[in-house]
């Protein structure tokens, strides 16, 4: 849905605000009436995304305190749009003043300047800041609760790669409870430690790291997805690429599966406890764009954060001459550990949207 | 846009038809008035996708002859919806009769049956058949011509991987003219030969192979893309995942980039012939969801075709018992070589959509 | 939904074709799977709209024979888009040749020429011809059947005014069976006769007449409508104004109600057979944009047809000089008698759309 | 666009909030970057709509002070969504407590209760309150300014009928400057006085009155409107019916025109100062759903306000028994005088939407 600030067809999230403006917020329209909701439900997921929690994230302190200002009455959703706001506080806009002319490599600065003819709010990345993913979480926390209550669907994601360090096992439901035991959000304690060290090392060098988030969603009923163009993969990938720094998305065996034979990659059907299931899950729970009842598994690749404190060659857009840039300010050496609640949110929003279309979730609970 | 058969906001493609029904077709609404268009323009791209052209594709012979039945008057588009139809001919629906109850591993059969409560047209895959990608090409051929004429944008894609065999070089504009010199659509002649052999080998074994298509689009102006949720990556990936068998999409350095340091992955700015450019193109031409003027590079992973003639364990949905399935019919041992015009089409449709939104292409030429 | 050829959110009708092109047709996407449908169901309503049936309509003979070319399998809808086509036959495009430069008063000629920079297909009105309302009926016939089968909703409309001749009674369910007993579609036999005479009189004078269609829909459940901007009135009026010649729409007491006191216009609640109802129905069955269980009543004003054979002053767009125009060709002296199936169709499409949103009709029957 | 709280395709207004909740507000997405905007621009139109200004409106005092919280930077729009909020203050929710079970005739109470299963916020009408039209004005004020600056389009509307008292002249540009000279917003001073007296009389009787707003928009370029389903009339009427109490909309000669002959109603073309114009304007500036360069004229019928202080028969929804209701609280005896800025706002939003689609207004000024 255009012109860009909204996602969803039946459950529509509209994101607003800028990193260093007065506020960021979200309007969630189409949420079924009758869902018990409290600011705490949302705050919990926002806190998981919040910066300043450890050495591996940016040192900006943002309270990120959410307020619900419409759509909830006597503790329940009313069917009207739910508006949520976080007032901005800890901005240091001066840090960005010199960026007005020096293009930051890897950032949206240059195309945004051209697109909006310099009218865009560039402070702190403005509309392009990772901070805006908090607005996804506002709506996503509600969607995630709704999925759990109505259909028992559980969406979880975790860090599976930081730089060149990889998790050892893949998609596994037992991992879920260990995700938030460490600051890297990696369910393998030993791997998490290595990841943490590599992030601190990058930080020391004034550099940054990327990584991969894996997402697993269980108890998904068969039949979600609207082929051809609103396949579940189409809508999930669209949602994922709205997260800054995401450059790749794959489902099930994904890119690895493209190297396999059909006889290896096909998931054979079997009967288990009277239910039709597949022996493997190379499809990632989606066939023909429709959920097949197996867990939905997705991997999301994040590039290393583009804000680094090392000196970089660049261009001054005013003088159109070469220049050297050294980005100041407090940045995340690696955004991946803060991404799991964002991925969970967008998966949840997408699944509720499809559940409403399929009539599996009703407009009034 | 719901309910699933349409893509685009300003240029909307609606796909209709089934593999073994009377026809497949497309309605393209929002195409600017005044574009000179002929059935030949469309037929040329359809022919590149057509099966039965060599040993490495299915032996079905389909003429795939397109007819324009509305929206073009005196050789020019009128601004009204353009409707295009291909009448089906060479279907052998009997081959599919036993599939009514035996679930084909890796196919949409099972979730589609559940979703549509057995009302779906299962013949030849029905609505889920790769054959439907011809409807994407109908609209895409028009969009591609429009991009070239109005903005000089060139979209091309080629096979870069079949099974475990990889192309040696990456995204390179000079490759483009060699793409259609062989049946594999791989611009490296030597690699193409190996790919061909591996497909024939898989075919002999009753097996199938997947692979990767790389897409490169040049002369893209800065500023296309509508953040946050209609970023160029969001809309391109959504389009790609509408192609059957696609399980992964990445832009620029993609998954590989997630292993790099920021200092390695950032594309440094420079001035070249008075124009701002980047030294590398790890961003794939998109920053903050907006085109930055560099070529848009994308890689699309296809799983191996799920229809194989080897025996496979499965379940009979009627008896809910285990069964052995042997798929008959004429199938592609590898669909990847037929995919480049489909990828080009969807890239073109997406870019025209965004060019209309940005006001760079006008509703009347 | 843009760019103009589609209506609906969950049930989407896309109209294509031109009056004198190869065909006109419609794609209906989002129709629930499992509805028994036959070309005869559609043909019956098309025949009610067909020209050449009597002296009061145009003498063009068009068979208007519909063909379903996708989306129906073994007699039932599949959940895939339903495509329907009528091939054009009895066009006499020469009649329109002199219209290329002389603007027809009251017609879309002038704004269409400007909008599409002369690329539009002007033959027979092209895309603006009343003939295109047959595409609304194609989809509407399916929607109307669906409403009746699933919810028992009955939509009917009739001619209540032709020129200055008015029906005596207003909205009344007992009238319904008399609608198609005469060629004017007015359920009062005596009034119908007067209307017929006045149309024949206008015809003789080379003039035309307008009129009013009244629509009544019964058995509507409470709760349809999505305030604020997709109120039932918003969506119904939007649909009505897509019919050429419609210049006014009102619900319930409408314009007349604007002259009343609140104490007169308010519909008082009462209990009847255990059900909450209102004593009067000045609201036309819609309060706050939502259906309240009473019959939905709507009046739709049609201007007199703009094509008349009298001489008219106009301008030659080429020479930009005054000119005298005499329109040839076979035209309806009054389009109103052909409009009831069109109004019924658009009401039905709109109500199915809302019933799907509200979860009252399921995506699979 | 669903699910109901948004209007527009390219310029999208999302309305949020409830009458007695914490706030009401709007997000305007798609507004071109580079428009100089100040809270005062918006406040001015809000003040024209504000209650408590005279004896003929409700005595509630609401400051209706708007705050812009996103999308404007250094005094100019940025291309990002513009969020505006009014914090609620003067609510007396107790007045509504007894309304929880007694259905108010003519109100949305009953269908809203059914639709949302009693979860809706009923205080002060909640989401259905006329107060929500302030959110239309927030976005509309920006759109109106944009139209004037970029295209010179002027939108104005005035009260043409209150109860049975009618204005003497019709659509006339010279009236415009007199609209806000009296509290009734009727440009004829003498008629305004009569209207005022009749409102005060209704008020004394505990009754209410309806009326008609006429809207005239000048300097509209030819070519706005996207037939078939996004005709200018379709989109304008859809917008009008989102205003509470609106029950009828007509363009140009409207219902009156349905009684005329074609030879009377057709607007003859002429050349005036080298420009093609029509001698009369029975089309209301729209032909074939497209603007023809003449002023757009529209009439909007408002029913009398349903809240009256007279005793009314009704039903208690809890006991399902008959009851007598006497509505307390401070209500408008006639909402029509407060409606002109709302109508102007919705016309402006619709025209900007279409101007963006047509490429006449660019996404960056």
Residues A295-311: pLDDT tens digits?
A: 999 999 999 999 999 99
Mean pLDDT value across chain C: 93
- Identify the pLDDT of residue A180: 94
Q: Looking at residues C199-214, what average pLDDT do you find? A: 96
The answer to the question of residue B365 being in a domain is no
pLDDT band at B96, cuts 50/70/90?
low
What per-residue confidence (pLDDT) applies to C101? 85
Interchain pair B27, C9: CB under 8 A:
no
For A113, the domain range is 6-357
Using DSSP, state whether B114 is helix, strand or coil.
Answer: helix
For residue range A187-224, list pLDDT tens digits in order: 999 999 999 999 999 999 999 999 999 999 999 999 99
Mutate to test the interface with D, among A25, A39, A81 (most CBs of D within 10 A): A81
Distance to chain A for D108, nearest Cα, Å: 14
Lowest mean pLDDT among A261-275, D137-151, D300-314, D326-340: D326-340
Q: In angstroms, what separates the C-alpha of C277 from chain D's closest C-alpha? A: 9
pLDDT at residue C98 above 60? no
Q: Which of D263, A361, D34, B140 is nearest to C105 (CA)?
A: D263
Euclidean distance between CA atoms A299 and D365, whole angstroms: 40
- Bond prior to B71 in cis (omega within 30° of 0): no
Above 70 in pLDDT, residue C62? Answer: no
Mean pLDDT of C269-284: 96
Report pLDDT for A90.
60
> Does residue A95 have a cis bond before it (omega within 30 degrees)?
no
- Helix residue ranges, H only, chain A: 39-49, 109-116, 133-151, 189-204, 232-240, 254-257, 262-265, 340-357
Q: Would you place residue B98 in the very low, low, confident or very high pLDDT band (cuts 50, 70, 90)?
A: low
Instruction: Please report where in the chains the tokens 């909701």 appear, as a residue.
Output: A37
Q: Mind listing the pLDDT tens digit for each residue in C153-198?
A: 999 999 999 999 999 987 777 788 999 999 999 999 999 999 999 9
- Across chain A, mean pLDDT equals 93
pTM of the model: 0.97
CA distances, D27 to each of B10, C71, D70 (Å): 22, 39, 9
- Higher pLDDT: D33 or D328? It is D33
The pLDDT of D93-104, averaged and rounded, is: 69
Give the separation between CA C348 and CA C35, rounded to whole angstroms: 15
D106 → closest Cβ in C105, C266, C321: C266
Complex confidence, ipTM: 0.96
Of the candidate ranges A48-52, A268-272, B66-70, D42-46, the one whose mean pLDDT is the lowest: A48-52
Q: Is residue B13 part of a domain?
A: yes
pLDDT reported for residue D173: 74
Q: How confident is residue C327, by pLDDT bands cut at 50, 70 and 90? A: confident
- Whether B170 has a pLDDT exceeding 80, the answer reads no
Give the closest of C5, C9, C33 to B81, CB-based.
C5
CATH code, B297: 3.60.150.10
With a cut of 90, say whether residue A326 has pLDDT above it. Answer: no
Higher pLDDT, A51 or B240: B240
Residue of A nearest to C353 (CA): A357
Residue B324 has pLDDT above 80, yes or no: yes
Mean pLDDT of C217-224: 97
CA D42 – CA D20 distance, rounded (Å): 22
Q: What is the percent of chain B with per-residue pLDDT over 70, rounded to a whole number?
A: 93
- CA distance linking residue B162 with residue D335, whole number of Å: 70
Residue D232 pLDDT exceeds 60: yes
CB contact under 8 A, C233 and D252: no
| Chain C residues with CB-CB distance to A225 below 8 A | none
Which helix (H) or strand (E) segment is C204 a member of?
Answer: helix C189-204
DSSP letter string, A222-283:
TT--BTTTB-HHHHHHHHHTTSTTEEEEEETTHHHHTTSBHHHHS--EEEETTEEEESS-TT
Average pLDDT over residues D126-154: 97
A258 assigned to some structural domain: yes
Q: Is the pLDDT of residue B54 over 90?
A: no
Residue A80 has pLDDT above 70, yes or no: yes
Tell me, what's the pLDDT at D156? 97
Domain count within chain B? 1
User: How far apart are the C-alpha atoms of A167 and A299, rounded to whole Å?
Assistant: 13
Q: Residue D332 — pLDDT band, cuts 50, 70, 90?
A: confident
Choose among D17, D70, D77: nearest Cβ to A23: D70
Residue in chain B nearest C76 by alpha carbon: B119
Minimum distance, in Å, between the CA of residue B254 and any CA atom of chain A = 5
pLDDT-derived band at D172 (thresholds 50, 70, 90) equals confident
The residues near A154 (Cβ < 8 Å, ≥ 6 apart) are A147, A148, A176, A217, A218, A219
Residue A64 lies in a domain: yes
In a mutational test of the A interface, the residue from D1, D7, D116, D349 whose CB has the highest number of chain A CBs within 10 Å is: D116
Q: Residues 71-100, chain A: which have Cβ within 8 Å of B? A: none
What is the b/e burial string over B184-223, where b = at least 16 CB atoms within 10 angstroms of the residue's CB? bbbbbeebbebbbebbeebbeebbbbbbbbbbbbbebbbb
Looking at chain C from residue 8 to 37, which residues have their Cβ under 8 Å from any Cβ of chain A?
9-10
pLDDT level of residue B63 (50, 70, 90 thresholds): confident
Instruction: Output A50 or B110, whichever has higher pLDDT.
Output: B110
Residues of chain A contacting residue C10, judged by C-beta atoms under 8 Å apart? 357
B240, part of any domain: yes
Residue B134 reports pLDDT greater than 90 = yes
Residue of A nearest to B202 (CA): A261
Q: What pLDDT score does B99 carry?
A: 57
Q: How many CB atoms lie within 10 A of CB C40?
A: 9
pLDDT of residue A170: 76
Q: Which residue of C has its CA nearest to D336?
A: C258
Ranges A245-259, C283-297, D173-187: which has the least confidence: D173-187
Q: Which of B22-26, C249-253, D167-171 has the lowest mean pLDDT?
A: D167-171
DSSP assigned state of D343: H
What is the chain C residue with the closest CA to D133? C228
Question: How much is the pLDDT for B45?
Answer: 96
Euclidean distance between the first and the last CA atom of chain A, given in angstroms as a whole number: 26
pLDDT above 60: residue B51: yes
Which pLDDT score, from 0 to 100, does residue B185 have? Answer: 96
Q: Which residue's entry shows tokens 């006085």?
A: D193
Residue D227 CA to its chain's centroid (Å): 24
Where does the pLDDT of residue A174 fall: very low under 50, low under 70, confident under 90, or very high at 90 and above? Answer: confident
The yes-or-no verdict on residue B1 having pLDDT over 60 is no
**CA nearest to C32 within chain A:** A358
Residue A315 pLDDT exceeds 90? yes
Indicate the range of A36-40, A237-241, B132-136, D331-335 predicted with least confidence. D331-335
pLDDT given at position A201: 96
Least confident of A167-176, A177-186, C85-94, D148-157: C85-94
Whether B363 sits inside 8 A of D359 (CB atoms) is yes
| Contact flag B359-D363 (C-beta cutoff 8 Å) | yes
Residues B110-117, mean pLDDT to the nearest whole number: 95
Residue B124 confidence (pLDDT) above 80: yes
* Residue D33 CB contacts under 8 Å (≥ 6 apart), including other chains: A116, A117, A119, A120, D76, D77, D78, D79, D363, D364, D365
Chains meeting B at 3+ CB pairs closer than 8 A? A, C, D
pLDDT bracket for residue C1 (50, 70, 90): very low
User: pLDDT (tens digit, 9 = 90+) per residue, B185-239?
Assistant: 999 999 999 999 999 999 999 999 999 999 999 999 999 999 999 999 999 999 9
Q: Which of B331-345, C20-34, D96-110, D212-226 shows the lowest mean pLDDT across its residues?
A: D96-110
């Amino acid at each position: 849905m255009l012109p860009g600030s909204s996602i969803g067809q039946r459950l529509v999230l509209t994101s607003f605000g800028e990193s260093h403006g007065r506020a960021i917020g979200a309007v969630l329209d189409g949420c079924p009436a009758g869902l018990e909701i409290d600011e705490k439900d949302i705050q919990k997921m926002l806190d998981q995304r919040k910066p300043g929690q450890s050495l591996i994230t940016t040192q900006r302190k943002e309270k990120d305190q959410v307020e619900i200002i419409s759509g909830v009455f006597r503790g329940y959703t009313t069917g009207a749009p739910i508006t949520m706001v976080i007032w901005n506080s800890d901005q240091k806009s001066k840090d960005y003043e010199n960026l007005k002319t020096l293009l930051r490599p890897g950032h949206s600065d240059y195309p945004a300047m051209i697109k909006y003819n310099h009218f865009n709010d560039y402070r702190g990345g403005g509309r392009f800041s990772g901070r805006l993913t908090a607005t996804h979480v506002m709506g996503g926390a509600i969607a995630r609760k709704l999925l759990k209550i109505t259909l028992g669907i559980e969406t979880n994601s975790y860090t599976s790669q930081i730089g060149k360090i990889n998790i050892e096992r893949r998609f596994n439901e037992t991992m879920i409870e260990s995700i938030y035991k460490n600051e890297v959000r990696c369910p393998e304690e030993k791997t998490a430690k290595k990841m943490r060290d590599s992030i601190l090392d990058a930080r020391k060098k004034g550099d940054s790291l990327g990584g991969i988030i894996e997402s697993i969603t269980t108890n998904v009923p068969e039949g979600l997805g609207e082929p051809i163009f609103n396949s579940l993969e189409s809508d999930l990938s669209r949602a994922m690429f709205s997260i800054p720094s995401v450059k790749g998305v794959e489902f099930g065996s994904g890119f690895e599966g493209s190297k396999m034979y059909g006889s290896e990659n096909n998931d054979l059907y079997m009967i288990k406890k009277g239910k039709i299931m597949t022996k493997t899950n190379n499809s990632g729970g989606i066939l023909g764009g429709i959920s097949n009842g197996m867990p939905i598994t997705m991997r999301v690749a994040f590039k290393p954060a583009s804000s680094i404190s090392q000196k970089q060659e660049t261009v001054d857009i005013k003088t159109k001459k070469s220049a050297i840039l050294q980005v100041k300010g407090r940045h995340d050496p690696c955004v991946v550990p803060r991404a799991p609640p964002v991925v969970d949110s967008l998966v949840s929003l997408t699944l509720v949207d499809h559940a409403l279309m399929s009539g599996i979730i009703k407009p009034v609970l």
